[in-house]
Structure 1
């Protein structure tokens, strides 16, 4: 990639946050060109990758190694928006655990995008709330929906896919060709076990019973499907099929579980894009993580390709959007306040 002259901090309008090195690698591969690193600030612990995707100058930051969760994500995004004051919106891009059978045929390598659904704004923090009578949990407060400019772009992306005009494979192919470790493990490796059946043994479930595999219609080719709806976010890894299904049902059909997005939505207006790397059950492993990171990054690039730079220029900066909401947000406020 060509490295042009160093751009000004004010030239960057899109913030891209990821949580893992494999996600950072996939994000960097989506850049049309890379820019010089920005000067380091004493009070900013983030490390940034700068570049251009289409018409948009993008700043990418990854959570520190080993520091996952909503608090770490919030800290990274906060420092990013303080330094890059012209950012209009963010993208939280990476991997997540899919929920099969929630009204969507979610499979490994597919992508889930946060979209307002029912009473949720696209992301819900499932591990925050209060316990009522009978031990029943009640989630309190809500998280903001993605900014309108991103929901408009998402509608355009969905329409293009319905018309057969998706360029997702175009964005994905160069990455996979250059970095074979990011290739799909293949449909034969996409195995879904019954939610009540726990992992027995083997890094790829070699000792797990084949009789407990859920029969599903075979997909033709390796087409990546995009699903839009609620993403469940929390500070713990979801590794149980029964709990996964119960929480998804309580949330009106959550499609994905992950660990960072809830830390961003009210302080860094963004859209969450998750490549599905496992089924959030006891059989989860890392085999699909590189490919899922690649499909999520390619989807983020496609979303930016249908987002006009002129519309971004007319959109309020992140700081302006947040300041306009001061005193209005009810993030994490109990229902009886």
Structure 2
């Protein structure tokens, strides 16, 4: 297949917030292309091919997080690559485990219309009414093209055809993306707070752990539903559960998607790196970035 160098040939945008997410995304390309010359460029892009799709990868500037930088990047990408019609926001997020969703570290949460929402809700955008909070930040639904590819992928997974592991194996030569030991995947009661000034959970009380049955295999599981997006890092279990309940079962918290959804028909894919509580740390971030990138590649192969 001929390598493209024309910026008008790229139809899929893939946006990351962190360098580790961007590194995982680059390894998912089947073919890398020379980046076209771009006018007024202040963002580093990587362009290439996945399957038959020409894809442009972009990353938020170092140290910048939240909806405003995400909006700036997606606006710039659309201007530099005018043929981009839809986008994926791919990276890490904080999971919301519950009796309805057995979310574990390394799993994937994908935005999908559910419970009256279009897949992503800006949870820090609401108004107070006599009946409580009313969420005003429900954002645009993904495009029909993305939803059709997502339906195909979900069907294949329901039939036992999980093709994520071959994509993950591409990252096997980088030790940073290796899956951490399952013993480090610990979920604590929502109202039990991490000891102050402690780096890890060695001093946390074992009796406050929520016991969960071990999984029979290490393959990441995909979950579909509402993702809560906002400008603040969620790191409190009680607040996490309350907002999730108010949103009728949000599965994940993250910080950038709300900056994209009304500019591109966008699908959000998040690898779960923590439980959005006070015990969060960075040990699962590289692997979670890898699982999200692997899922995104498999999705694009369905298009």
Q: TM-score, normalised by structure 2?
A: 0.96
Task: Kindly provide the CA deviation profile for residues 292-320 of structure 1, in whole angstroms up to 9, marking residues without a partner as x.
Answer: 0000000000001111xxxxxxxxxxxxx
Q: Which of 60, 72, 85 matches 1:88?
A: 85
- The equivalent of 1:35 in structure 2 is 33
User: Which residue in the other structure is 1:111 paired with?
Assistant: 108
Q: CA deviation at 1:141?
A: 5.0
1:1-337 aligned at under 5 Å gives the runs: 6-42=4-40, 44-101=41-98, 103-133=100-130, 136-140=132-136, 142-175=138-171, 177-200=172-195, 202-307=198-303
Which deviations, in whole Å up to 9, do the C-alpha atoms of 1:19-45 show, x marking residues without a partner?
000000000010111111221322x32
Contact 1:97 1:258 in 2 (8 A): yes
**Cα distance in 2 between the residues matched to 1:112 and 1:234:** 16
Q: Distance in 1 between matches of 2:136 and 2:155?
A: 34
Q: Which structure 1 residue ranges, 5 or more long, are not aligned?
A: 308-337
Asked if the contact 2:125–2:137 (Cα under 8 Å) also holds between the matched residues in 1, the reply is no
SS in 1 for 2:170: helix
C-alpha displacement at 1:6, in angstroms? 5.0
Counterpart of 1:161 in 2: which secondary structure? helix
Match of 1:326 in 2: none
CA distance in 2, matches of 1:204, 1:33: 40
1:132, distance to aligned residue in structure 2 (A):
3.3
Quick one: distance in 1 between partners of 2:252 and 2:245?
Answer: 12
Gaps of 5+ in 2: none
Distance 1:164 1:186 in 2: 25
Tell me by how many angstroms 1:84 deviates.
0.7
Q: Report how many residues are paired.
A: 302
Q: CA deviation at 1:142?
A: 2.5
- Asked if the contact 2:5/2:35 (under 8 Å) is kept, the reply is no
CA RMSD of aligned residues (A): 1.5
> For 1:104 and 1:169, how far apart are their aligned partners in 2?
22
Structure 1 runs (4+) greater than 2 angstroms displaced: 131-134, 201-204
The 1:102/1:27 distance shift into structure 2, 3 A limit, reads farther
| Distance across 1 between alignment mates of 2:218 and 2:200 | 20
> How big is the shift at 1:206?
1.0
Aligned-partner Cα distance in 2 for 1:140–1:221: 40
Measure, in 1, the Cα distance between the counterparts of 2:76 and 2:221: 33
Partners in 2 of 1:151 and 1:264 — Cα distance?
A: 17
For residue 178 of structure 1, give the secondary structure of its aligned residue in structure 2: coil
SS at match of 1:227: strand
